[in-house]
Amino acid sequence: MNVQIETSWKAVLQEEFDKVYFEQLVQFLKKEKQEEQIIYPEGSNIFNAFNQTPFDQLKVLLLGQDPYHGPGQAHGLCFSVQDGIKFPPSLQNIFKELQDDVQKPIPASGNLVHWAQQGVLMLNASLTVRANTPMSHSKIGWEIFTDRVIEIVSQKKEHVIFILWGRFAQEKERLIDTSKHEILKAAHPSPFSAHQGFFGCKHFSQTNYILKMLGKEEIVW
């Protein structure tokens, strides 16, 4: 199948695009469109995380679960929203922790594309969602695909920093070779759990400390 995705990702993921489950996933999305369901993010942004962070430039993998399901929010990067959109609660808490950790003022925009362009793959486990219906596409095959993405990153790269917030993300540790990658774990930034270990985790400064030790360029959060 010819999927429009950044070249270095296409090289390592082509086998997945040719599998039966992926064809079924594509057919499911086409059917949703035919039934005039509103799907987020829009088609051109479904693989935005990959297009903004080429495989050969990836240094950090931040894992989310499901795209935002409100209008104008999702654009293919986990936790990030498009310019001009009100910060969802989890993103507000991410900015609070960022301010506390590295003294970065809370920004005007919740668009985190500048993280992605510095090598942070901002991967949701599901890459699409039906409007106003969280987790509606979580069983259509996306998790098979994104689990393989994590495995391929683990197998083909070294010294990637995996940031796993919350139980869902931490269950993916089984896909990662911990002998050659770094893993940072904390509670999810959601208001329901942020006070149980997300606030104070200092993952932004820790990530940069590890990158510095590896001789890699630090992330300008």
Catalytic residue positions? 66
Question: Tokens at residue 30, please?
Answer: 């086409």
Question: Tokens at residue 46, please?
Answer: 């479904």
How many CB atoms neighbour CB 25 within 10 A? 19
DSSP states of 53-108: S-GGG--EEEEESS---STTT-SSSTT---TTPPPPHHHHHHHHHHHHHH-PPPPS
The whole-angstrom separation of Cα 76 and Cα 151 is 20
Q: Put residue 194 in one of left, alpha, beta given phi > 0 → left and psi -120 to 50 → alpha.
A: alpha
Place of tokens 């270095």: 8
Between the alpha carbon of residue 60 and those of residues 19, 154, 193, 204, the distances in Å are 27, 11, 23, 11
The whole-angstrom separation of Cα 181 and Cα 34 is 43
